[in-house]
Amino acid sequence: MAPIPHRFLVPLILCRFALGISWTVIHPYVSDQVASFGVPAASLGFWVGIIESCLQLAEIFAPILCYISDYTGRKPIFILSMLLYGWVLIPIGFSTSLFGVFFWRTMQGFCSVYAILTKAIMAEVTDHSNRGRAFGIMFLAFAVGYVVGPWVGGHMVKLNRFEALSDVGVLNRYPYLPPSLVVGFCILIIATIVFIYLPETLPKEKRKTWGSKQTTGPKETSMKEEWIKLWHYRPCRNMLILEFLTCAVGFSWDVSFIVVCASPRPIGPGLMPPEIGNVLLVGAIASGFGAITLFPWMERNLSRSAILSSTCTAWTITFLTLGMVSWLSNVEEGQEGPSAVVIWFWIILSNLCKRYADLGVT
């Protein structure tokens, strides 16, 4: 097995960590921030879903910048995209309207090209003997960012709740700004490290030239033709459809979980952002643990069809347990409902089932 080139591995690990924290830092408080704009509880789920859906929709256009990197080199587009992906959270923290959060979260999706380029660069500097180990380490780095993001978002938001900071004007006016600033500063440090230590992986002689046309040699297959070939290959088509459906269900749960947990009774338990951050932290730790220990064991002892069947079935349990959280919280004011321990049990169970279902994507 060839050694992993550490000069590439270390910066890319930091970038995957940055991707995880930038993506999830908003999750514990996005519902609370939308509600602060006067959105009624009945419409909260709709607008949070729209905001997160637009992030994912905008990511469809991110590969366009990947195509541009074939002409400019990987490094300039890579660093620019990473900076914008993290820093666009700062305007979200300054937003005082629903449109502001919607617009800047969508812009974040357009800037997600560096998530693709991390994999492209790692594929260019590894071979078949060490590529699997390198991508496994990168997945773990993303999982760590996925763990840290909700915790930072949940505990750094509304710092004016502390008596020592209650008179700080900027925190009173923009209570959702501190998590964005923390992530933006973290991204700046990582981008500096990448700029200094990460070499360019696409030398000038291998780059495409603007306006040039191929005149000699065999004709290259266009991207459209490659996609058509992949789609007509039945096993690949089935996996693409399964990946699409799994991601759609997973993102639906992400939004539903935030809305249910943040909504006051009788819709949900009315958890505060720090509490939501703690729950997502536990789930993310479980996800990383499962990817490192449980998933390799399953691959060694179970067929892939059995793994996919069990993880897909887990999605049903995931939504049923989340429904139990809402059902148990359906108590009118003045009535005695289930204890907090019972509700927290179903919240954590739904979160853990979701993390197991995520293994199917892996």
Could you tell me the domains of the chain? Answer: 1-204 (1.20.1250.20), 225-362 (no CATH)
Predicted pLDDT at 94: 92
Instruction: Return the structure tokens found at 64.
Output: 């366009």
The closest of 268, 271, 272 to 326, measured between CA atoms, is 268
Predicted pLDDT at 91: 92
pLDDT one digit per residue (tens) for the chain, 362 residues? 567 777 888 888 888 898 889 888 998 888 889 989 988 877 887 888 888 888 888 888 877 777 788 788 888 888 888 888 888 889 999 998 999 999 999 998 888 888 888 888 888 888 777 776 777 777 778 878 877 888 888 888 888 788 788 788 888 899 999 999 999 899 889 888 888 888 887 778 777 776 655 555 555 556 567 678 878 888 888 877 887 888 788 878 887 888 888 887 777 888 888 888 888 778 777 777 776 777 777 777 888 788 888 888 888 999 999 899 989 888 776 677 777 888 888 988 888 888 788 776 65
Name the pTM for this structure.
Answer: 0.76
Predicted pLDDT at 362: 59
Give the residue ranges of DSSP H helices in 28-73. Answer: 30-35, 41-58, 63-72
Predicted pLDDT at 2: 67
Residue with tokens 């763990």: 147
Q: How far apart are CA 61 and CA 46, in angstroms?
A: 24
353: which residues sit within 8 A by CB, 6+ positions away? 314, 317, 318, 321
Whether the upstream peptide bond of residue 175 has omega within 30° of 0, thus cis, is no
Q: How far apart are CA 174 and CA 101, in angstroms?
A: 13
CA 175 to chain centre: 23
Q: Are 180 and 90 in contact (CB under 8 A)?
A: yes
Sort 227 into a burial class: Cβ within 10 Å, 0-12 / 13-18 / 19+.
exposed
In single-letter form, the type of residue at position 139 comes to F
